Amino acid sequence: MDFFEQQDLARRRTGRLVWYFALAVVGIVVAVYLIAWFALAMVGGYAEEPGAVNPYADSPWHPELFLMVALGTLGVILLSSLYKTMQLSAGGEAVALMMGGRLIDPMTSDLTERRLLNVVEEMALASGTPVPPVYVMDQESSINAFAAGREPGDAVIGVSRGCLEYLDRDELQGVMAHEFSHILNGDMRLNLRLIGILHGILVLAIIGWFVLRSMPFSGRSRGGKNSGGAIAVILVVGVGLLVVGSIGLLFGKLIKSAVSRQREYLADASAVQFTRLPDGIAGALKKIGGRPETSKIESPHAEEISHMFFGNAFGSFGSQLFATHPPLVDRIKRIDPSFQGEFPSRVKPVKVTAASLEAEKKAKPKPGRPWGAMLPHRAAAPLDPTGVLGQVGMPGMDKILYAAMLLESMPQPLRDAAHEPYGARAVIYAVLLDRDPAMRTRQLEALRPKAEELSYRETERLAPLMDQLSGPARLPLVETTFPALKKLSPEQYRRFRENVERLIQADDKVDLLEYTVHTMLLRNLDVHFGLAKPTSVRHQRLDGILPSLIRVLSTLAHGGQSDEAEVRFAFDQGMAQVDRTGSVLEKAECSLAQLDTALKTLAEASPTLKRQILGACAACVAADGKVIPREAELLHAVAANLGVPIPPIVTPATAPAVPDVS
């Protein structure tokens, strides 16, 4: 699975969907016009005055009527679609709340919820995506889940209560890997647009239904000899709109189902590649087939987002004509060819205890050396640039294990604080504090009058623990704060944002860690709080953004090398990846402010261009065959700006053991 190819494919599918929608709207406009003409032609048959001429009885073509009908129909469809799209503008959170989801408290005492949050955090850190908030649908006893959002930064995970109660950790991990593949493949934006488009068409059927319901009142109110004619006209209009809207919705469902079924196969395959545990996702699918509730969702909104679920929202054994998911048996056989179609006769709840959670940690494969040896803070590690690109969007089990060990390495007070809004702010403040005592005092003095009292006290408490935290764990710790920070009010976020900038500027300079943390926060939270719009694609060709790429490669070359010849060699290695030549910029022209400007331009590149850009950056960093921590942070800063989920860099020689699935 190629992340960049899938992102580009998702964009093309979205464009194709718009064309399908346009063709459907044209057909609907014509059908509504014929209904309107027929209704008006009928009026002449019930005219009160003998000899009255009906201008619509002779010819079916009337331009003025067509224009009125076209404008009215287009207005209804487009406004309805726009209304639904605006309802979902909050991203995945709006979908989760619509489905009756309850946000899981990161400090929850429910062990099944705790286990789920652990799995989601590991998956997110392993894949390089922001940790998403997790919602549970308590009223749903079936086994199902979904991922929703416009992009990884505003994604959420939703799970049914049955998912928590009946799946063991490997099965839960398989389901979550499936949902993360939807996040990484760019499926979520397409799924949200499908909801908006189909709602616009559905409104016509709703209008027809209301027109039909008005028939008794219309006949009573007229009470004259032509009341039968009025009822006949209303009947024609109501039935016509109901039929047209229903047929339009029918074809919309066909399009939705066809697109969704293929994406489900891909997500299943990606989940197996991700976890290297085919029995996990296969076991979850088998348990769906072995329970009476299967994967059915009872919510009245299930139809709207049926294409977003892990399993068929209407049950696993219904008609496949409009099914948004492939047959359950087919999905399992693609993962487990030995499956004979027999489901377990009884599926028992999985009992989760504190001891079992601890046992799961101990059961994970461990590397031969302590986790800190995998990427020492002050040492260099080998880096294969092709491996960096190959693992974007598909990190593998070694990264999941590495992420789990990173989480275990973090002092528990830091992890707990990252899961609570006041504490999460304190974690970010503590990350940004300078190691120099005098400068740290200056930063704290600047923070004290502006920060909330509780957050300030937490910052002082956490600062010594942050000093003990190894470098590779700092950015992952920052990523775990995002769900808690999204719970801030707009005013709280504004003050927090100002405090972050105040801490960074307190020493009159911006170092690399400060820049990277600032970039991660702004990219993932500014859009959530409405302070920025999601980045759109503006550049399809490299030549238009080549000066920005030259500046980024020059910054990377200077960041990892000191000798002039080595700087030039690293720069040339990066340029060779895009088949271009150029001159490396002087170090004075490679400040973080200039880098930021260049990266904002590159962020507007198409997915296929981003592949070339990131490949060039990785080749530049790996020119000497190794990567130092500063280069790794720069590479992560570049990826964060591009919106590309880059997994942690792990030394191959000390990577965790991965289960053999051959």
Q: Mind telling me the catalytic residues? A: 179
Q: Are strands 626-627 and 381-382 parallel, antiparallel or unpaired?
A: antiparallel
Place of tokens 């504090």: 433
HSE-up (13 A, CA, CB side) for residue 222:
15
Residue 347 is classified by DSSP as -
Q: Give every CB contact of residue 286 below 8 A, 6+ residues apart in sequence.
A: 332, 339, 343, 344
Place of tokens 């024609």: 236
CA 169 to chain centre: 23
Cβ-in-10-Å burial (0-12, 13-18, 19+) of 6 comes to buried
Distance CA 13, CA 228 (A): 49
Q: Give every CB contact of residue 619 below 8 A, 6+ residues apart in sequence.
A: 385, 573, 574, 576, 577
Q: Give every CB contact of residue 426 below 8 A, 6+ residues apart in sequence.
A: 417, 455, 456, 458, 459, 461, 462
Cβ contact 281:272 at 8 Å: yes
Distance CA 437, CA 457 (A): 17
Cβ contact 395:274 at 8 Å: yes
Cβ contact 133:486 at 8 Å: yes
Nearest-5° Cα angle at 617, 611 to 622: 120
- CB burial of 359-397 (b: ≥16 within 10 Å; e: otherwise) equals ebeeeeeebeeebeebbeeeebbebebebbbebbbbbbb
Cβ contact 295:288 at 8 Å: yes
